[in-house]
Structure 1
Amino acid sequence: MAGKNRMGVVWGVVAAATLWTAPVALAEGTARTLSGYTQAIAVSAARDEALAAFYAARDYRPIWTSEQDADRRAALLRALEGAPAHGLPAERYDVEGLRAAFAAVKTERDRGELEVAVSRAYLDYAHDISNGILDPKSIDSGIVREIPRRDGLDLLRGIAGDRPALYLRELAPQAPQYAQLLKAKLDLEALIARGGWGETVPAKSLKPGDTGPAVLALRERLRAMGYLGRSATAVYDADIQKAVQQYQFDLGLTPDGVAGAGTIDEINRAPEERMKSILVALERLRWMNGIDLGARHIWVNITDFSVRIVDHGKTSFESVTVVGQNQSDRRTPEFSDEMEMMVINPSWHVPRSIVTKEYLPMMQRNPNAAGHINLIDSRGRTVPRSAVNFSNYTARNFPFAMRQPPSQGNALGLVKFLFPNKYNIYLHDTPSKSLFQKETRAFSHGCVRVGKPFELAYALLAPQSEDPKGEFHRILNTGNETTVRLEQPVPVHLVYYTAWPTARGHVEYRRDVYGRDAALFAALSKAGVELPAFSH
C-alpha cells in the first residue's frame, strides 16, 4: 500500500529539518495527551500482529517520533531514498510523504498514527530488501524456491537497537555478487544516460573478410562495449574476429568468431534489456538471502547450462549440462536442497508421466516398442510384453511401471546424483553425449544431465576417500546398481540467472531460455520498479 494512503491524507513535501523533535502538549493535560498517543498506536497497529506485539511489549514507546529517535529516523529516510539503487520501487515507501507527515503533526494522536505509519513503511522496505518484492511461485510455477522471509517482529526489534544505520545496511544480501550487480546497475545507468552502445548492426550475419557499413557498425558496437580498441578498418579483420570471439565466450555462445544470427541478436540488445536482467538478478538474490549456500556447494545455473562445485568461494569443478526442455511440464525448476548420495550403475525408474504420455502410445502401436525397458507390475515383477494387451489401457488405468536396468545405454548413463525432492529432479550421466556440443542445451525432461559425470563423482567422493577415482571405478566395473552415500551432504542450488558476475566482477549475460525473467520483470514493473529512460 502506498504511503500516501497510510494515514488517509495526502502529505506534502517538506525539508528534513522540519522533522518532529518534541512531544505536543495538549491543554487537557498530560494524562489525556499520553492516552491519545497510546490509543492511536494501539488502534493503528492492531491489524498487524507484529506491530501490535512490538509496541505493546515496549509500553508503546516510540522508535521514530521522539527527539531521541532522530538518528534512527534519518537513517531510515536515507535508506528509503536509496531504494531505487537496489531496484526497488521508490513510490512504495513514499519517503517524501513521510517527511511531510512529520511536519503536519498537530496532536499526540497524530504522532501515534505517524509512528505506526513509519513502522509500516520500514517493514515494507525491510521485507523487500531482505527477501524480495515478488512471490515468485505466483508468477512461474517452476520457481519452487522456499524463501526465508524475515519475521516482522524480529525486524522491528532489530531496528530499535543501538546501531540502526548498520542494521539497515545489513538487511540487503551480503553476497559479493549483490554488490557487484549494484555496481553494474550504476554503470549501465550511466551508459544509458550517454546514449547506450550506439547504432545496432544492420545485418543478419557477418563473417571474417566481410566489408561495408554493417562491419563498421559491428566495429563501433564492439568498441562501445569494451571489446575492441579504436580502429579505422571497414573490414571484418582478425581484431574484430577476436573481439567477437571474446564476446561470444562471455555470453556462453559458441566462440567461433563468426557473428552469426544469434551473436548479432545478442550484440544488438539495448542496455535496457541488460538492465532488466540485472534488476531480476538482484530480486533473485534477495530470495536467496538467508539461505546458507554452504562453504562447499553445487551451483547449477539453468540459463548457463552449467554445474559447478564451489569450495570456499572458488570453483573446483565445472561441467556443461543439458537442462529441461522449454515446455510447461519439462522445465527444470529452481530450488535448493542437499545432495546425499550417488547411484553407480543406476536403473532408470521411468517417471509415470513419461510412461503414460510417451511409452504407452508407442506400445499400443507396437507392443515391442521401447523393448529395452522392462514392464513392472505392482509386486515388482517383470512382465513379458506378450502377456499385455496395451489397447485395453489408458493413461489413467495403465497398471504397470517401467524400469530400465543398468547398462551403457541406460537413459541415466552410469551414475546419478540424488538430492531427494518431491519434484523428482536430480543430476545424472547420459548416453546422448552429442547434445553437449549444442549452444542451447534444453533437451531433457527436467533433470540435469552432466557432461563430465565421472569427474563430478570423483570430486564428491574426494572428501571421504583416499582414492576417489579408483573407488568409483571399482564399483562401476561390477555392473551392479550401488548406492554410495556422501558422508557430508553437499548443498545444491538450482538457479536461473541471466546476469551473473564473474569472480572479477564482470557481469556476463545469458538468454532467458524459459521466459522466466521476462515474466518476473513484468511483475517488478507492475510493482513500480522503473527502467532509466533511454535516449538514442
Structure 2
Amino acid sequence: MTSLSRRTAWATLAASAALSALVSATPLAALTPGDLAFRQAVAEQSAEIDAVAAFYRERDFAPLWTTAADAGRRQALFAALDGAADHGLPAGRYDAAALGEKFRTVRSERERGQLEVAVTRAFLAYAQDVRTGFIKPASIDAGLVREVPVRDPLATLRSFAAAGDPGAFVRALPPQGPDYAALRHGMLDLRRVIAAGGWGPAVGKGALEPGESGPAVIALRDRMIRMGYLGGSVAPGYDGALQKAVQRFQIDHGLTPDGVAGEGTIAEINVAPDARLASVLVAMERLRWMNGLPLGRRHIWVNLPDFTAKIIDDGKVTFETVTVVGMNQADRRSPEFSDQMEFMVVNPTWNVPRSITVKEYLPMLQKNPRAVSHLKIVDRRGRVVNRDATDFTQFTAKNFPFSISQPPSDDNALGLVKFMVPNKWNIYLHDTPSKSLFGKEVRAYSHGCIRLGKPFDFAYALLARQTDDPEGLFEQHLKTRAENTIRLDQPVPVHLVYFTAWPDARGRIEYRRDVYGRDARIFEEMQAAGVVLDAVQG
C-alpha cells in the first residue's frame, strides 16, 4: 500500500464528525489495510452509542470478540444468550443465531469490525435486561414510580473486558439472591407442568363443602393431587384429607384458610398454570428492577397484593402484620417505591390531602357547612374558619382556599401513630380506627397509604433496637395525648413492592391476586417484547 493510498484511507476514517475524534494511538505507518478497515468499521458502527464508542477508543479499537484469543468471551456470551429464555427474557431481541452465523461467514476485516460492534451491542442489551430488566416501569402504570438502578454500560464493558473468567462475570449479571433462584426454579417447574398437560380439568361447580361428593369433588381432588397438595391414594368424597389439602392451598394463595372450597377458592384453584407462569415471569422482571438496590440488613417489606408489612432482619422475617392498601382507583392505588423510615409520629394530626379535601369534603360542606364537624378548617393564616359564616358553594376544587385537618384523637383517621417515610407521594404507614377491614380477604380500601393491623407492636419492634423498654418509651409518648415524634436512631429502608408470585421460606411459590391489574399490563408488555410462555422445557 503506497503512502498516498494509506493517507487516503486514514482521511476516510477521520472524514466525518462522528469519526474525527477516534484517532488511533497506533502509528499510522504500523496499520495494515485490514487494520484500517476493521477500525473504520468499528468506529462507524459504534458512533451512535457513546459508551461503545468510548470503550473502543480507550482500547485503541482492539477487538473484544472476534479473534481466536476472544473465544472464551464469545463462548460465555453465546451460552448466556442461548439461555436467555430461562430468565424469562425475550431471547429473539439478541439475534444470537444470526450473530453466530455471521462468525461463520465473515469475509473481510470490514465485516469483522461490523460484527465486533454488533456482538458488543447484543452483550450490552442482554447485560442490562438480565441485570435490571427490559421493561420500563413508568411506561406501564403511574404507580410504578420505582427508580431502577441501571448500570453504566461503559463500566459494564470495562469490567467484562478485565474479567479473568468471562463465564463467571456473565453468570453474575442476574439477581443473585435466593428469591430470584426460587422464582426461576418455579418458572421451570411450571413449564414442565404445562408441557405435561397442566393440572387437569377445571372444577366445574361454583362452591364445594366437606361431605359433598360427585364429579366436581373428583375434579377438585384430581387438581389438588396434580398441584402437589394431596397424595394419590385418597377417598372419592370431600373428606378430611381433601379439606386439609384445600386449606394448604388457601394458605399459599392468601385466602381464608377454612378448608372450604368456596367460590373465591375455586376461582383460584381454576387459574391455569400458564397464568401462574406469567405471574412468575413478571415477578422475575420486578426483582430485576430492584437488583443492586440495597435492601438493608434490617428493612421493611410491604407487599401490596399480599396485604402484609414485614420487618426483615438478615433475611428472616422478625415481625409481620396485615395491612390495608390503596383502593383500586386511578388516584388511590398505592405506589411502588423504596425509601427510608426516619421517625414515627405519636398522636398524629391528620392533615387532609388536597385531593381528598376538594373531592370528598368540599361537596359535603357545600350541602351542609356543619358536615364532618370532627375536622378543623383553617385559612392560610392558620385561623379557624367560621363554618356558619362561610358560603362554601362559592368555591371550586381549584380555588378552595382552606386547609382541613383532624386533631389527635382515638378517632383520628391515622389512628394513634404514623410511621414516616418522607416521599413526594405523601405515602406512609399508620394506625387506623377502622379495624374491621383487617378481617377481609382483599384489603384495598385506603386512599393510598398503608394501614397496619398491629401498629403498636410494629412500633415496639422498631424501637427495640434503641431501647430496653420499647413499650414503655412508646407509652410515655402516647400518654401525652399531644402530637410528638420519636426518631429512629437508625433509619430503616422501606420497600413498597407488588409481587403476585413470591417464594416462601421453603422456596415454594405462593400466589396473590393482581388487585390493581398491574402485573397483567406488565406481562402484555413483556409479550410484546417477545417473551413466550413455552420458550423452553427446562
TM over 0.5: yes
Number of aligned pairs?
508
Say if 1:426 and 1:447, in contact at 8 Å, map to a contact too. yes
User: How far apart are 1:32 and its partner, in Å?
Assistant: 1.3
Corresponding position of 2:236: 234
Query: What residue is the counterpart of 1:329 in the other structure?
Result: 331
Give the match for residue 424 of structure 2: 422
Unaligned stretches of 5+ residues in structure 2: 1-29
2:143 equivalent in structure 1: 142
Structure 2 Cα separation of the partners of residues 66 and 145 of structure 1? 41
Equivalent positions of 1:455-470 (< 5 A) are 455-470=457-472
Q: Summarize the alignment of residues 493-512 of structure 1 with structure 2, pairs less than 5 Å apart.
A: 493-512=495-514
Structure 1 length as normaliser, TM-score? 0.93
| Cα distance in 2 for residues equivalent to 1:526 and 1:153 | 28
1:103-142 map, 5 Å: 103-142=104-143
- Are 1:76 and 2:53 an aligned pair? no
| Residue 158 (1) aligns with residue 150 (2) | no
The secondary structure found in structure 2 opposite 1:464 is coil
Secondary structure of the residue that 1:340 maps to in structure 2?
A: strand
Cα distance in 2 for residues equivalent to 1:30 and 1:413: 76
How far off is 1:392 after superposition? 1.1
Deviations 1:361-402 (A, max 9, x none): 001111111100000111122223123111111111110000
Query: Do residues 320 (structure 1) and 315 (structure 2) align?
Result: no
Confirm or deny that 1:273 pairs with 2:275. yes
Q: How does 1:129-528 map to 2 (within 5 A)?
A: 129-161=130-162, 162-528=164-530
Q: Is the 8 A contact 1:192 1:534 kept in 2?
A: no
Partner of 1:50: 51
Match of 2:23 in 1: none
Q: 1:216 to 1:533 in 2, by over 3 A?
A: farther
Secondary structure of 2:123's counterpart equals helix
Please give the secondary structure, in 1, of the residue aligned with 2:464: helix
Distance 1:480 1:321 in 2: 26
Q: Cα RMSD between the aligned structures?
A: 1.4
For 1:139-166, what per-residue CA distance to the aligned partner results, in whole angstroms no more than 9, with x for missing partners?
1111000001011101111211222111
Asked if the contact 2:85/2:536 (under 8 Å) is kept, the reply is no
CA distance in 2, matches of 1:293, 1:376: 41
For 1:204 and 1:440, locate their aligned partners in 2 and report how far apart those are by CA, in whole Å.
Answer: 19
Deviation at 1:519, TM superposition (A): 0.2
- Please tell me the residue identity of whatever aligns with 1:155: T
CA distance in 1 between partners of 2:208 and 2:325 (Å): 30
SS of structure 1 residue aligned to 2:413 = coil
In 1: Cα distance, 2:468 partner to 2:235 partner:
58
Kept in 1: contact 2:41–2:114 (CA 8 A): yes
Distance 1:163 1:376 in 2: 67
Q: Who is 1:62 aligned against? A: 63
Counterparts of 1:382 and 1:457, CA distance in 2: 33
Distance 1:533 1:237 in 2: 39
In the alignment, residue 275 of structure 1 is paired with which amino acid?
Answer: L
The amino acid of 1:501's aligned partner reads P
Equivalent pair of 2:149/2:293 in contact (CA under 8 Å): yes
Q: Deviations over 1:346-370 (max 9, x none)?
A: 0000000000000000011111111
Checking the alignment, whether the CA contact within 8 Å between 1:297 and 1:491 is kept in structure 2 is yes
| Alpha-carbon contact 1:142-1:331 (below 8 Å) kept | yes
User: Hey, what's the Cα distance between the residues in 2 that align with 1:487 and 1:232?
Assistant: 56
Q: TM-score, normalised by structure 2?
A: 0.93
Unaligned runs of 5+ in 1: 1-28
Identity across aligned pairs (percent)? 59
What is the identity, as a one-letter code, of the residue corresponding to 2:131? S
1:233: how far off?
A: 2.3
How far 1:437 moved relative to its partner? 0.1
Of the structure 1 ranges 29-38 and 342-351, higher mean CA displacement relative to structure 2 is found in 29-38
Aligned residues of 2:85 and 2:535 also touching (Cα < 8 A): no
The CA distance in 1 between the partners of 2:144 and 2:88, in whole Å, is: 20
Note the alpha carbon deviations across 1:94-135, whole angstroms, 9 max, x for none.
111111111111111111111000000001100100110101
Shift of 1:533: 8.2
Report if the CA contact (8 A) 2:344-2:419 is conserved: yes
Aligned mates of 1:336, 1:90 — CA distance in 2: 30
Per-residue deviation, 1:230 = 2.0
